[in-house]
Amino acid sequence: MYRNSISTLKTSHTNFMSINKQIVFNGILMLFITLCLIQSTEEAVVLTRRLQRAVSTESTTNNNSKEVKPPCHGRTPCGWAVYKPFTRRFDYYMENTCECPTGKVCLRTDDDLSVSAYVYTCRAESSAEKNDEGSPST
């Protein structure tokens, strides 16, 4: 009888440990799934905001009244020509919320590899004649 009790106790302990392992595994799995859902939700929010900005920019562009933008100061980019990372094939041009002041034009000055875009900054009109790489929108 004593052996039966020990054998039953060992079996119960083994089952208990197996159940504990299963609970821990399920907990880790739920945590992983939750983190994945949070990440995809954050990406969806960012994408939604980008789309809203694009739509609002498009709707203001379609209006006949010209939007007054503040001037770009210093090295603040006036635009970016976004390209495909490996081919460097031009994808689209994105203007900044500022514009070049009178006497300056938006010229390609840098290549920002981290965002796969050529950077355009305001330069004097005289340098536009030397550098024939104006913004792709013109």
pLDDT tens digits, one per residue of 95-109 = 999 999 999 999 999
Residue 69 lies in a domain: no
- 33 or 83, higher pLDDT: 83
Q: Which domain holds residue 86?
A: 77-130
Residue 94 lies in a domain: yes
Does 2 lie in the same domain as 56? Answer: yes
| Cα→Cα distances 53→56, 57, 60, 71, Å | 5, 6, 11, 20
pTM over 0.85: no
- Count structural domains, the chain: 2
Mean pLDDT of 79-92: 93
Residue 59 lies in a domain: yes
- 137 or 129, higher pLDDT: 129
Burial bucket for residue 80 (CB in 10 Å: 0-12, 13-18, 19+): buried
Question: What is the model's pLDDT at position 119?
Answer: 96
Closest among 80, 86, 78, 130 to 105, alpha carbons compared: 78
Mean pLDDT of 63-89: 86
Mean pLDDT of the chain: 77
Closest among 30, 2, 25, 137 to 10, alpha carbons compared: 2
Among all chains, which residue has been given the structure tokens 């920019």? 57
Does 54 lie in the same domain as 16? Answer: yes
Residue 72 lies in a domain: no
